[in-house]
A and B are shown apart, each in its own frame.
Chain A
């Protein structure tokens, strides 16, 4: 009998602090599987900003930098510019990337910074107990939208991939999800493409992963996956919004 599935090498063998059924754990594993397969861990530098995933500096087996809230893209820019041969990636939540860090997100896109952004969209601020995020759906109940998000007063959720796709420096903007095994396979492929883009110096790659937050959604892990499927995907259509590599391929 041969082992056909086991913990990736670059995922540190420690229990995680994530809640049971939280999508972060899945995406962490996928990133590490890609780092293993592309043998990048020794040259990788990860940036973990504030959020549930800040503790990822204990889980990713590459060198890690903890960044202030929203500033991971800037920290990654600094690290990448002075180490162009290293592989730099950020792992950010929606509050971090699409609220406080919006400017940093847009500008690594306009600059075509050669880094990878793993963006976890779970429509909430998990670490602080489930407040409204820029990606909270209309009508969705959160700690700061107790009567459901009223778009008149609390605005509309932001679609990051569509926005980033308009920026010339972006090489890949793709939205995926982890609500089912086929979607998880798709997520891994996207993450792989992102890191390949960085190796080929094509510019910024951002992979937006629709994920779950069972605790703050007040749903079982299973029902949380259904929420992604039935509520989130319709508002945040999955797919590739920009792929320079594919465009180059097609142009040939």
Chain B
């Protein structure tokens, strides 16, 4: 199944009741699939007049306690920044998919990873985080959507799936989880009509009383601490005795894995660390992977953004080199292989 469509099908099976989209390459097939499938599955599909309207429709639906989703690509996600900040500030669960493309500006339509900062550091204004999953296969995209909806409800945070045009457009076999029927009851906080049986609920992010806003933010950061302690995930590939660890996520990790496998075959002690969660960043796992490493090579489809988190995670104890292609150019395994060779002086 095609990545974009697998994302949509997975959402429907997770009990996502509404999808609000807007056309943008390279994720438009997701909306088209939703247009075909959602209503038949008893849900709502609506193409909004803009990404700004789309994210606010998600905000409206999520406020009433329903599982909601939207998807877009880089420029569209920038338009959704304010809405996502409001949702974080109103403790609203939702799933937001970013099928990244080359940037900045209109950029290009080929895959890229230059929205890492946006996703993990500053989706929008204010002190808040969204959880960020970085799948690197169609199956992982399905798994990520399933996890995203559950974690969004569990922690009452928006969750972003950071994919890219390559993952969105490629086809791979995939198996889906059983459709989810019972969904969490959110009537304690949701604005869904109180039927004169409870005080009215207010879904809101405005707190003009500064100490109250601070208390709200601090409470949220308690939840973020829980997320950081319990929700990190990464794949460690051949890292046990690795003297060089390559760090990469998503599509770039697929490329890096081929290069690492080839170098290993020639006796070079190299491994791959692939974070599956970008926020919370898997610090423990990276330190585990790099316990024998003398060097780290960070490979990204950007000018280097995750590299900061890599350096922070190892507290600059280990030198971190960088190799990246950007603008929608996809690095080749050969290029990464050459970098590995350069850094390890070939096989000892």
Chain A: residues with CB nearer than 8 A to chain B?
12, 41-45, 47, 54, 57-58, 60-68, 71, 74-83, 86-87, 103-104, 106-107
Can you list, as one digit per residue, whether each of B154-192 has a CB less than 8 Å from chain A (1) or not (0)?
Answer: 000000000000000000000000000000000000111
Sorted nearest first, the 10 A-B pairs with minimum C-beta distance are A78-B60, A78-B57, A75-B60, A63-B191, A74-B56, A78-B61, A71-B56, A66-B204, A79-B60, A74-B53
Known A44-B193, A65-B203, A82-B44; further 16 A-B contacts with Cβ < 8 A: A42-B197, A45-B64, A47-B60, A62-B200, A63-B202, A65-B59, A66-B90, A66-B202, A66-B205, A66-B206, A67-B59, A71-B52, A74-B48, A74-B53, A77-B60, A104-B49
- The answer for the CA separation of A75 and B61 in the assembled complex, in Å, is 7
Can you list, as one digit per residue, whether each of B274-313 has a CB less than 8 Å from chain A (1) or not (0)?
Answer: 0000000000000000000000000000000000000000
Quick one: which of B44, B68, B195 contacts A42, CB cutoff 8 A? Answer: B195
Decide: A79 and B61 in contact? CB cutoff 8 A. yes
Q: Cβ of B27 < 8 Å from any Cβ of A?
A: no
- The answer for the CA separation of A75 and B53 in the assembled complex, in Å, is 8
Most chain A beta carbons < 10 A, residue from B17, B52, B193, B204: B193
Decide: A68 and B82 in contact? CB cutoff 8 A. yes
Decide: A75 and B18 in contact? CB cutoff 8 A. no
Quick one: which of A42, A58, A67, A86 contacts B196, CB cutoff 8 A? Answer: A42
Q: Which residues of A contact B58 (CB under 8 A)?
A: 78
Q: Which residues of B contact A68 (CB under 8 A)?
A: 56, 59, 82-83, 86
A75 to chain B, nearest CB (A): 4
- The tally of residues in B whose CB lies under 8 Å from a CB in A reads 41
A sample of 28 cross-chain residue pairs with beta-carbon separation below 8 angstroms, ordered by A number, consists of: A12-B200, A41-B196, A42-B194, A42-B195, A42-B196, A43-B193, A45-B64, A47-B60, A60-B200, A62-B194, A62-B200, A63-B193, A63-B201, A64-B200, A65-B63, A65-B202, A66-B204, A67-B86, A71-B56, A74-B56, A77-B60, A78-B56, A78-B63, A81-B18, A83-B64, A103-B53, A106-B49, A107-B48
- CB closest residue in chain A, given B90: A66
Q: Which residues of B contact A65 (CB under 8 A)?
A: 59-60, 63, 191, 202-204
Q: Which residues of B contact A47 (CB under 8 A)?
A: 60
B95 to chain A, nearest CB (A): 14
Decide: B53 and A82 in contact? CB cutoff 8 A. no
- The answer for the CA separation of A67 and B35 in the assembled complex, in Å, is 26
Most chain A beta carbons < 10 A, residue from B50, B82, B194: B194
B212 to chain A, nearest CB (A): 13
B265 to chain A, nearest CB (A): 53
Q: Cβ of B236 < 8 Å from any Cβ of A?
A: no
Quick one: which of B52, B59, B66, B194 contacts A63, CB cutoff 8 A? Answer: B194
Q: Which residues of A contact B52 (CB under 8 A)?
A: 71, 74, 103
Q: Cβ of B20 < 8 Å from any Cβ of A?
A: yes
- The answer for the CA separation of A71 and B60 in the assembled complex, in Å, is 10
- The answer for the CA separation of A75 and B191 in the assembled complex, in Å, is 12
Q: Cβ of B24 < 8 Å from any Cβ of A?
A: no
- CB closest residue in chain B, given A80: B60
Chain B: residues with CB nearer than 8 A to chain A?
17-18, 20, 44, 46, 48-50, 52-54, 56-64, 66, 68, 82-83, 86, 90, 190-197, 200-206
A167 to chain B, nearest CB (A): 13
- CB closest residue in chain B, given A66: B204
Quick one: which of B17, B191, B202 contacts A79, CB cutoff 8 A? Answer: B191
- The answer for the CA separation of A83 and B192 in the assembled complex, in Å, is 8
Q: Which residues of A contact B83 (CB under 8 A)?
A: 68, 71
Q: Which residues of B contact A12 (CB under 8 A)?
A: 200
Quick one: which of B54, B64, B82, B90 contacts A82, CB cutoff 8 A? Answer: B64
- CB closest residue in chain A, given B60: A78
Q: Which residues of A contact B46 (CB under 8 A)?
A: 77, 81
Quick one: which of A61, A79, A80 contacts B200, CB cutoff 8 A? Answer: A61
Decide: B49 and A63 in contact? CB cutoff 8 A. no
- CB closest residue in chain A, given B201: A63
Q: Which residues of A contact B60 (CB under 8 A)?
A: 47, 65, 67, 74-80
Decide: A107 and B53 in contact? CB cutoff 8 A. yes
Quick one: which of B57, B192, B194, B204 contacts A74, CB cutoff 8 A? Answer: B57
Q: Which residues of B contact A104 (CB under 8 A)?
A: 49, 53, 56
Q: Which residues of A contact B56 (CB under 8 A)?
A: 67-68, 71, 74-75, 78, 104
Q: Which residues of B contact A41 (CB under 8 A)?
A: 196
- The answer for the CA separation of A76 and B49 in the assembled complex, in Å, is 14
Q: Which residues of B contact A44 (CB under 8 A)?
A: 193
Q: Which residues of B contact A106 (CB under 8 A)?
A: 49
Decide: B68 and A83 in contact? CB cutoff 8 A. no
- CB closest residue in chain A, given B199: A61
B300 to chain A, nearest CB (A): 32
Q: Which residues of A contact B202 (CB under 8 A)?
A: 57-58, 63-66
**Given contact pairs A68-B82, A78-B18, A78-B61, A103 touches B49 in the complex (Cβ within 8 A):** yes
Most chain A beta carbons < 10 A, residue from B48, B60, B86, B194: B60
- The answer for the CA separation of A47 and B203 in the assembled complex, in Å, is 10
Q: Which residues of A contact B66 (CB under 8 A)?
A: 82-83
- The answer for the CA separation of A139 and B250 in the assembled complex, in Å, is 58
Most chain B beta carbons < 10 A, residue from A71, A75, A76, A86: A75
- CB closest residue in chain B, given A57: B202
- The answer for the CA separation of A24 and B254 in the assembled complex, in Å, is 59
Quick one: which of A42, A43, A78 contacts B20, CB cutoff 8 A? Answer: A78
Quick one: which of A57, A78, A107 contacts B68, CB cutoff 8 A? Answer: A78
